[in-house]
Amino acid sequence: MENIERKINELRETLRYHSDRYYNDDAPEIEDYEYDQMMRELKKLEEQYPEYDTPDSPTKKVGGKADNTFASVEHTVRMESLQDAFSTDEIREFDRRVHESENCVQYVVEPKIDGLSVSLEYVDGVFTRGSTRGDGDVGEDVSGNLRVIRNVPLKLNKSLPYIEVRGEVYMPKKSFERVVDRQLLNDEKPFKNPRNAAAGSLRQKDSSVTATRGLDIFVFNIQQVEGVTLNSHKESLDFLKELGFNTVPNYVRVDSIDRAIDEVNAIGESRGKLEFDIDGAVIKVDDFAQRDRLGSTAKYPKWAVAFKYPPEEKQTKLIDIEIAVGRTGVLTPTAVLESVHLAGTTVSRATLHNQDFIDEKGINIGDIVTVRKAGDIIPEVVCVNEHRSDGTFRFPEYCPSCGSKVVRVKDEAAIRCINPECPAQLLRNLIHFCSRDAMDIEGLGPAIIETFVDKGLISKTFDIYDLDYDAIAELDGFKETSANNIRVSVEKSKDNDLSKLIFALGIRNIGAKAGKLLSDHFKTMEALMNASVEDILEIDGFGQTMAESVVNYFSANEAKELIEKLSSFGVNMKSKTEIKDNRFEGMTFVLTGTLPTMKRSEASKLVEAYGGKTSSSVSKKTTYVLAGEEAGSKLDKANALGITVIDENEFLEMLK
């Protein structure tokens, strides 16, 4: 019995961890199917050994929780999750339980959208509040972000005193691909799947960011309503359409569980062709009076069940392994397969992630492998069924794109090409180089840079300073004025401080703040290029990884050539920071809130001009917190730690 109790506790701990990663961090580590199977195992053990059942078990909880980033919203009507079924036998068992108390039951079958569940509230036909499900009882107020989603109506077609509806915010597959491309260009960790992309986008503090993500919504339920009487689920969905909501698509009312199963199978067969992700199909009792009599358990309504499609797997032959160089320099292996039909589409390529994954599975060219679609989007190799060759596949030592030697950074799974002029990374590097915090070349945005690369006007970073402006003026959409504006901006960037150039180079692990520290410490690009790891470690705030990244970058001949070319075009290679005196030497300032007469960036420069440094976070090492209006959590933390808080007047007095 001790083994049983230990097993139950281990399952609970594992499920809580993965639930938190999925619902609250938007960063799942396992597939939904694996999570569902663990939950089923725990539920069976609790039923078999009720003495170990507890009210706080994951089997009793809805997955998420309210995040303190947003205001909390208590749901008047609980936002329940659904009981899962994984076979037709379990669907028939659900039907049997329904018919224990109800006769002449009709069901509505609809696809189960894989996104983030939300509530929308309307007063007199006007959108007033929107919130996430959270734990079912308490969610987060995300009204501002919901307002920028295209299919969230801000005013209904009919005015009702009050209505609350439930829907699923999702990211269409095409939007997901665009977001991931943008993340890779910006050297950000890409979202794993559309569901997590939708959740992460809806929880943005800045709704203008949410607006760029291409989110959409399907509404599938009325939680509560005043001013109209509705008797069935299908009637309510039809009514939601009349109000102007984008309702869950392809819902069908059927008269028997056999017809319901047929519809579930039909939805499953079509899911590969849909423009959005689904992770199952839902069967709901249609009649509201019957629903009321059936009621709910502590976690699930008894009048609905969600059939989860198992991940479809097929065996095929691995013909070849191709290595592509991504826009961040990461070498990515792709399996070339004998074509196989999987989840409604033909699959001939699959991800192999990285060298560690290949080593773990023992994968090599010629092997017979099992392939499945992760989240119905990206095919992946699951395992090797039959080895048809010796050993495992090894990554090349040199970049397939530019021939430079590749490196594997300590504590990273990725193998990278660090050549700043690698053709495969050119577009991403150029966009970063011209961005506001880097060289700030106004007029050279991502779309224009891409056009110049396509037209052959830029093939190396330093080509920015040798542009053919006559050729630019002749391009469609460009006039002489536009070309001259770009020329002025390019010339202006030559005079930037050395810190902006260091950041613009895109050295891994070196952000704008680190670039400023390097610039202030070494004063010239030449001194920085000749610095050792030990020299860089003398800078407060630099660790081994950052120091090694700098040294590795400048050790490449391509980096040396880039600096030489930029210098020949007149780009500044010296720090412009002037230390007026050292009154703030050894002091760290944190700036927060809105100052009365100056921008925080201006105050930051003043701190540095007098020998001090600024930080973005409050810690025990902080000397002063310079706080303005709406200072927020940083001010609270400073007070908790006993850090001296000053206002703008006190700061200006310190400068006299």
* Residue 71 three-state SS: coil
Beta bridge partners of 126: 123, 155
Q: Where are the beta strands (DSSP E) in 195-329?
A: 216-226, 252-254, 278-285, 304-308, 313-325
The answer for residues whose C-beta is within 8 angstroms of residue 476's C-beta and 6 or more apart is none
- Look at the alpha carbons of 47, 52, 56, 57 in this order and tell me if their dihedral is positive or negative: negative
Are 69 and 203 in contact by the 8 Å Cβ rule? The answer is: yes
> Pick the catalytic residue: 43, 61, 65, 112?
112
Beta bridge partners of 278: 113
Q: How far is CA 186 from the centre of its chain?
A: 13
Work out the number of other CB atoms within 10 angstroms of the CB of residue 639.
13
Q: What is the CA radius of gyration of the chain?
A: 29
112 is catalytic: yes
* DSSP, residue by residue, 421-480: T-GGGHHHHHHHHHSTTTT--TT--HHHHHHHHHTTS-SSGGGGGG--HHHHHTSTT--H
Which DSSP symbol is given to 101? T
Are 145 and 202 in contact by the 8 Å Cβ rule? The answer is: yes
Helices assigned H by DSSP within 533-647: 533-537, 544-555, 557-568, 600-609, 633-641
Angle between helices 173-185 and 194-202 (to 10 degrees): 70
Residues involved in catalysis: 112
